[in-house]
């Protein structure tokens, strides 16, 4: 998970701050790490180094998979820092089945009602909960759930995930 998140951020064109102090263009990231609880690892920022340092310091929390708490915590990040005019996307990557499916569904509905797109990336055993997760993802599910049988595949398909998440893609190739 840490490697995937680092690669995702490293391969992204981050937003830049203009002369008036406004962040324009590009991507900004925030990171939530969850298990029993949901912890904000990084607030939403355009500072690539800040996000990468925070992700590097993450450690696997082990334990339950409280998906609903993670979605609620991620949604809180969007209320800070004026992100309303920007595309708001939560990419939920999980290898565990939700400990409380009902609460995950309630949280997902609230998040989507706020106008936030949810892309679900079930990895390994989480795939078993595909039908339930489809209800959590934004619609259509076929465009907002990326089933990934292994961690190795997750990392190898990085560009695919970026193109799913971003409304505008620019090639760095000439």
In angstroms, how far is CA 129 from the centroid of its own chain?
Answer: 18
Query: So what's the pLDDT on residue 171?
Result: 55
Query: So what's the pLDDT on residue 83?
Result: 55
Domain boundaries, the chain: 2-15+28-161
Q: H helices of 2-157, where? A: 2-10, 48-56, 67-78, 101-113, 130-136, 141-144, 151-156
Beta bridge partner(s), residue 17: 23
For residue range 26-55, what is the model confidence (pLDDT) as tens digits? Answer: 888 899 988 888 888 999 888 999 999 999
Residue 82 banded pLDDT, cuts 50, 70, 90: low
The domain defined by 2-15+28-161 folds into Rossmann fold (3.40.50)
Instruction: Compute the distance between CA of residue 151 and CA of residue 166 in angstroms, rounded to an integer.
Output: 22
DSSP of 28-41: -EEEEEESSSEEEE
Query: So what's the pLDDT on residue 84?
Result: 58
**CA-closest candidate to residue 160, choices 7, 1, 2:** 7
Secondary structure letter of residue 167 according to DSSP: S
């Amino acid at each position: 998970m840490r490697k995937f998140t680092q690669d995702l951020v490293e391969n992204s064109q981050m937003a830049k701050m203009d002369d008036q102090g406004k962040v324009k263009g590009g991507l900004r990231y925030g990171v939530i790490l969850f298990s029993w609880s949901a912890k904000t690892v990084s607030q939403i920022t355009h500072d690539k180094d800040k996000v990468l340092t925070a992700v590097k310091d993450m450690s696997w929390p082990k334990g339950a998979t409280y998906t609903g708490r993670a979605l609620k915590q991620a949604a809180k990040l969007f209320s800070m820092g004026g992100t309303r005019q920007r595309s708001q996307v939560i990419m939920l990557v999980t290898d565990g089945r939700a400990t409380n499916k009902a609460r995950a569904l309630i949280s997902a509905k609230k998040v989507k009602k706020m106008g936030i797109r949810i892309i679900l990336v079930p990895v390994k055993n989480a795939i078993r909960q595909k039908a339930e997760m489809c209800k959590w993802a934004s619609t259509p599910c076929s465009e907002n759930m990326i089933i990934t049988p292994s961690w190795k595949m997750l990392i190898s398909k990085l560009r695919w995930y970026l193109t799913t998440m971003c409304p505008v893609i620019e090639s760095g190739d000439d």
